[in-house]
Chain A
Amino acid sequence: MKILTKLEENVLLMILKLDGEAYIVSIKRGLEDYLRSSFSFGALYLSLNRLIRDGYLKTSIGESTSTKGGRAKKYYHLTLKGVEKLREVQSIQNIMWENFENLTEDFKDAK
């Protein structure tokens, strides 16, 4: 089973949130806002291409409706495979994080 990196996972989720308006700049800004750390274009570029190659994303060239001067942008959308992958990641996440509260009871007081 191929494992998604954290960045790839977040990129996919971000694209979902952006719902059709996901292109490289909006993804970058979105991630920076939510995750509160900066990302370089290159890193995103690499992740996006990998996700495309693995079949989790597909691209479309949009007739943009945004404020940018009418030139086309490359938009990213999740594929069915991508959504399934995210479900997979989520279930694993749940399994891994299961029982977190109980396990960290002892650490609650040490604040």
Chain B
Amino acid sequence: MRDRKVKLPDIGRMIIHRTLPFAEREYFIRGMEEEYSEILRKRGSLIARFWCWMEIIKSLPFIFCDNFSRSKIMLKNYLKIAFRILKRQKAFSLINLVGLTIGLSSCILIMLYVDFELEFDMFHENADDIYRVVMKQPGNYVSGSTSDWWVVSPAILKPTWESELPDIIKIARTGRSRVVIEKDGELFDEMFFMVDPEFLEIFTYPLISGSRETALNEPFDLVLTKSMAVKYFGDEDPVGKTLNSTNRQYKITGVVEDVPENSHIKFDFLASFETYRITSSRTFNSDNWFNNPYDTYLTLEPDTDLEAFDKKLRKYDFEGFGESIYSFHVQPLKDIHFNKDIQGGEGDTRYLYIFSGVGLLILFIACFNFINLSTARSNSRARELGIRKVIGAYKKQLIKQLLGESVIFTLISLVLSLIIVWLVLPVFSYLIGKELSVERLLDVKFIFGIVFLSIAVGLISGSYPAVILSSFRPVNILKGDLNSGKKGSSIFRNSLVVLQFVISIVMIVSTITLYNQLDFMRNKKLGYQKEHIVTMPARGIDFDTFKNELLNYSGITAVSGSSGIPTRVGWSNIGVWEGRDETDKPFFYRLNVDFDFFDLYDLEIVQGRKFSKEHGSDRGKTYILNESAIKRTGLDEPIGKKFGFWEIKEGSIIGVVKDFHFESLHKIIAPLGIGVYDRESFNYISVKMNSENLDDTINFIENKWNELNPKRPCDFTFIDDQLDGMYKSEKRIAESFGYFSLIAIFIACLGLFGLVSFITIRKTKEIGIRKVLGANIPVIISLLSKEFILLVVISNIFAWPLGWYAMNKWLESFAFRIDLNIVFFILAGISALLIAMVTISYQAFRAASANPVNSLRYE
């Protein structure tokens, strides 16, 4: 008796089809069908179907397990082959590996940098709820920006807001206080960060020693950072000990970990805010809201409606200078680093984008290399793959194998990259001026991300070669008909090379432009003398005595006091002049100087006269304006006209000074009004020196200072150093670009080298024959290199417009800039060409000089 042919429900079959390998399917299904028909017979179709489903569900885990074991075994085989390939083709693997490793390393370094910036200030537990109090003071500008945002608050703000605004969870004030510490007879100039106890609750600064609840309650309580604890107390626990300043004693109540680099708040010491009650009681107790030398931070309830909260702050608005309304606002913590308008915003999102772009581009170049080299050497893999196919491998399996190889390759590269990054990190940090730490590298999330990235890179770069290689027809391969296929692949390969060189050339152009602009800025005549001049904050010294003593020294040619120096003016008010429109309230920068200032800095007067002692009335009643100021006032005959700040009293214009740059070259020269006053206004002392024996002169100055003002160290800097400092970030970018361009072109040439090697191997026979027929070496070299040279030339055509556009955009940010010279592009193009030619010719030469006998031997 024959059973009717019974089949499993269709969905069941489908599931089995998808999960079992081909060979197993039928037997498994037949086995199940036999059981199924039995149950169908005995128990009916409903139960049978139920059984079928249950059986499949129960079996699935085992099936997956089996597939996994199967793969594990194949994996061993693939690994063996992968390593054999690597060893056999040492040269190519090496080239590929080096290129990929360098690419990955650059990428990882840049990722570390971007992560550093983005994670700025975010290490605090409450980071999302922390805010900083800021004030909008319309019209009150600070040098270097046109922003009227200030980070200031009075001492009385905290108690007032605490009681009146329930949205605030915790609020803490901070202030900075310069303290000279005396320890074992030595003096140390330190900065204390004075904070309310709530500071440690708002921010996350874990205490290594001491108790958070009591650490900052009393006046003169002091918490040290780890480094400071070591500096002053070595290995001992300093809690309970004291630290003396020149006239006070501080009690040490705790130690915290050193502050991480990516934090806008940096401190070495935390002292209790209560200390101000004694050292600065006037400010502390004052209910004057103008008296605002402190910063205030607070935490708000999560989900506070910020707009509504801001409206509540309108209650505290008050009238400031010039009848404008000063108002309070709160700025979120994550905004601080990137907001350039408000103090503390040093992060530039522009640079983040630029660097991220560079990192990606370099990675692309490395990937293109990988793709090109893998496809180029397809011939050597062809035989192995052909045989595999004959034995019964499916295209899918081949692809899996090849993809697996590229992923393994990338992972090896990753390991090497990590080592390189670890070694190079200090140099890179120095280069970009941010302290990057290796620890971030070890963070689990980061490692995860990098591994993921590498695997993705491996898969993506490996996919094209995998598809190409697995498409060979075994018949052709085993017949010996090796051919890299259609014209299409050639075009693809060539366009990749072009892309690589376009990127490299653009980077070279950028580097050249950057350096030129930098040079321009460094050497531009600023309108005043900057060499051999040191400046120092005046800080409590007896100016007249100091000046006289200094002038007695032969190495010193001039001494002057002023409210600001050409690199730091810092003061601005509304300028008013005779005959202006009442509604016109422009901001003028403002300087007060003594009679020697103009001569010391060699400023040129173009109209009228300098300040001089002979004109006794000069004090307080005369102004010299710069050319931009005159232009702003629109006065044709400025000399003698009345002028003043905020209001015209008795002042008038006695002279016009030629415009000089007192801000960075990013900006056009702003209007400036200079007056002469007594020394009470002086913040800075400038000293001009003889160019000979600068060291001796410096020593003299320092000694004199210490004689007259032993309590405060002499904090002098050279003007030209300060100027260099202004363009720090540009310098860094230029240097970084330089290095990355080198890396880019190195990798591109590496790829070129590999490709050329391949072509030469493939054409070995052809070269041999040509030589026999009489071709000499140069002919052969040109034969091999023609194609590639052409590619590099083509790259230029694409690269130049791109470079032009990019550099123009960047230069726009400078008010004073160079013009883009065609020479930059020519230089870049030629260097790229030269480097490429060197790369190619080495290999070509070797091939061309080979003995034709050897190449023709294998037929």
Contact = CB atoms under 8 A, between A and B. Distances in A.
A96 interface: no
B69 A53 contact: yes
A69 B2 contact: yes
Contacts of B55: 40-41
Contacts of B32: 41
A53 B73 contact: yes
Interface string A28-53: 10000000000011110110011001
Contacts of A25: 31, 34-35
A74 interface: yes
Contact of A69 (B5, B58, B60): B5
A73 B30 contact: yes
Given A45-B28, A53-B73, A68 B34 contact: yes
A40 B31 CA distance: 11
Contacts of B24: 45
Interface string B58-70: 1111110110011
B58 A46 contact: no
A53 B62 CA distance: 16
A24 interface: yes
A67 interface: yes
Contact of B62 (A42, A67, A71, A73): A42
A46 B65 contact: yes
A45 B59 contact: yes
B581 to A, nearest CB: 91
Interface in B43-97: 55, 58-63, 65-66, 69-70, 73
B22 interface: no
A25 B39 CA distance: 13
Interface in B1-20: 2-3, 5
Interface residues of A, number: 19
A24 B65 contact: no
Contacts of B35: 25, 28, 41
Contacts of B61: 42
Contact of B59 (A41, A68, A73, A74): A41
Contact of A73 (B27, B63, B65, B69): B27
A24 B33 CA distance: 11
Contacts of A43: 58-59, 62
A50 B35 CA distance: 23
A48 to B, nearest CB: 9
Nearest to B2: A69
Contacts of B27: 23-24, 73-74
B62 A46 contact: yes
B31 A42 contact: no
A41 B5 contact: no
Contacts of A41: 28, 31-32, 35, 55, 59
Given A71-B30, A73-B30, A40 B58 contact: yes
Given A41-B31, A46-B66, 12 more contacts: A23-B31, A40-B55, A41-B59, A42-B60, A42-B61, A43-B59, A45-B24, A45-B28, A45-B66, A46-B62, A46-B65, A69-B3
8 contacts: A24-B31, A28-B31, A41-B31, A46-B63, A49-B70, A53-B73, A68-B34, A73-B27
